[in-house]
Amino acid sequence: MDQFIREKIKQVKKGDQSAFGEVVTFYQDKIYQHCLRMLGNAHEAEDLAQEAFIRAYVNIHSFDDRRKFSTWLYRIATNLTIDRIRKRKPDYYLDAEIKGTDGLDMYSQLANGAKLPGEEVESLELERYIHHEISQLPPKYRSIIMLRYLEEFSLQEISEILDIPLGTVKTRIHRGREALRKRLRHV
Amino acid sequence: MNCNKETIELMHNYLDGDLTSQEECDLRTHLEDCEDCQHYFHELKRAITLIKSAEQFAAPEDFTQKVIQNLPNEKKRVKFMRWFKVHPVLTAAAIFFVLMMTGMLSSWNTDSELVVSKQEELVVEGDTVIVPEGVTVPGDVLVKNGNLMIKGTIDGNVTLVNGKLIDDRPIDSQGLMASAGEVTGELETVDRMFEWMWYQLKDFFKGVFSF
């Protein structure tokens, strides 16, 4: 598999788009899922996952063949999601008036009669509940927990993906595990 | 939780695979004695197992296609190369055809001057080759870009390329070939590009099979 990807990347570096298509097909689920878990919104996740692949293609010449492609790709995707989360806060004030509408605010966009978030969680099956619990972690723990336990990178690789020292990765993964232990002990 | 932070730190290091065998031994001994820590350790491990069972999501179906559509244009050269890779037979045929056509054209165009096979008995007058009366020409005769007039005898095949067979006896206009009965072999006239090609090919294969 590594050999397959390496071969494809060589072709992509020569400018072959169809080889890149195969690379995208290979990683699309992982990257999309990663973005979705980071952002919690399918539309935004697709948007950013697309953006991540396009950036990978455009910057393919800065990728060092001797390193792992997946690490590099996750780094691009993670940086994009972290940027988005940072920028997001001012974007979504529920009571801000929507442009082009007459006095409508974001509250009016919420479905009526929807269950309260708490109730909804109770009705979700376990898998979804876990997904929800992960998404409740602060982003800096969430990204590490996901990379370690869902995408199975080593701590060293995570330190490369997030561009933070190994020691920081360890501290954060400890805290992330603590937080999840508390959240999941009653399941 | 009465146990100190140190033990919990050990647990996390254990989960990261960072324990020395001595530390691992310490942790194990402690866990055997302390039920609280056992419970705590179990919760941690269980949390990890649970995380791994989180809901899986697949990317939308047209994901790859959308990415490709939004990529900057690729170089034309690569497109050609890929086309060649996908259609190797057509590529081979195309290359063969191009080579053959150039070879053919060059051999067709370069020699527009008169070419006659080398028999001493043949007489050349302007662009007409004459087999004089009462003379027997041994072997095959080839005349290219010129006419041939046969008065004598040719002991072999005759090939006329881009030229005509002339008979100076006008009465016998229909029986040109017949009057050239003095040709003991086949008489062949080639005056078109494709016939020339065909002649070349035939010649080539004859050459091949004669081995």
Pairwise pLDDT comparison (B121 vs A89), residue with the higher score: B121
Among A119-123, B109-113, B114-118, B165-169, name the one with the lowest average pLDDT: A119-123
What is the mean predicted confidence (pLDDT) over B125-135?
Answer: 80
ipTM of the complex: 0.74
B64/A24 touch (CB, cutoff 8 Å), yes or no: yes
Please compute, for residue B187, the number of CA atoms within 13 A of its CA located in the half-sphere on the CB side. 18
Q: How confident is the model at residue B176 (pLDDT cuts 50, 70, 90)?
A: very low
Q: How confident is the model at residue A176 (pLDDT cuts 50, 70, 90)?
A: very high
List pLDDT tens digits, range A79-116: 999 999 888 765 555 555 555 555 555 555 554 444 45
Nearest to A139 by CA among A160, A162, A170, A167: A162
- Residue A137 in 3-state DSSP? coil
Q: Is B68 on the interface with A (CB under 8 A)?
A: yes
Nearest to B56 by CA among A24, A44, A150, A142: A150
What is the mean predicted confidence (pLDDT) over A72-85?
Answer: 92
Cβ neighbours around A85 below 10 Å, total: 17
Q: Is the pTM of this model over 0.80?
A: no
Q: What is the pLDDT of residue A50?
A: 94
A33/B47 touch (CB, cutoff 8 Å), yes or no: no
Sign of CA dihedral B56, B60, B65, B71: negative
Q: Which residues pair with B138 in a beta bridge?
A: B155
B71/A49 touch (CB, cutoff 8 Å), yes or no: no
Nearest to B190 by CA among B135, B145, B140, B153: B145
Q: Is B60 on the interface with A (CB under 8 A)?
A: yes
List pLDDT tens digits, range B140-157: 888 877 788 877 777 778
User: Tokens at residue B179, please?
Assistant: 């009057």
Q: What is the pLDDT of residue A112?
A: 47
Dihedral of CA atoms B139, B143, B144, B149 in degrees, nearest 10, equals -170
Q: What is the pLDDT of residue B177?
A: 47
User: Tokens at residue A19, please?
Assistant: 């080889």
Q: How far is A94 from chain B (nearest CA, A)?
A: 28
Q: What is the pLDDT of residue B163?
A: 76
Q: What is the pLDDT of residue B141?
A: 81
Smallest CA–CA distance from B57 into chain A, residue: A33
Among A40-54, A89-103, A114-128, B25-39, name the one with the lowest average pLDDT: A89-103
B59/A33 touch (CB, cutoff 8 Å), yes or no: yes
Percentage of chain B lying above the pLDDT 70 cut = 80
Distance of CA B123 to the CA centre of its chain: 48
Q: Nearest by CB to B43, which of A20, A49, A181? A: A181
Average pLDDT of chain A, as a whole number: 83
Cβ B149 vs Cβ B128: under 8 Å? yes
Cβ neighbours around B126 below 10 Å, total: 8
List pLDDT tens digits, range B80-109: 777 777 788 888 888 888 988 887 777 666
- Residue B175 in 3-state DSSP? coil
Cβ A37 vs Cβ A31: under 8 Å? no
Average pLDDT of chain B, as a whole number: 78
Specify the residue for token string 């992330």. Answer: A176
Smallest CA–CA distance from B40 into chain A, residue: A181
Q: Nearest by CB to A54, which of B43, B58, B71? A: B71
Q: What is the pLDDT of residue B191?
A: 63
Q: How confident is the model at residue A124 (pLDDT cuts 50, 70, 90)?
A: low
Cβ B163 vs Cβ B145: under 8 Å? yes
Q: Nearest by CB to B68, which of A21, A58, A181? A: A21
Q: What angle do CA A90, A92, A98 make, to 5 degrees?
A: 110
The answer for residues whose C-beta is within 8 angstroms of residue B3's C-beta and 6 or more apart is B30, B34, B36, B37, B40
The answer for residues whose C-beta is within 8 angstroms of residue B74's C-beta and 6 or more apart is A15, A16, A17
Among A68-82, A137-151, B169-183, name the one with the lowest average pLDDT: B169-183
Q: Is B63 on the interface with A (CB under 8 A)?
A: yes
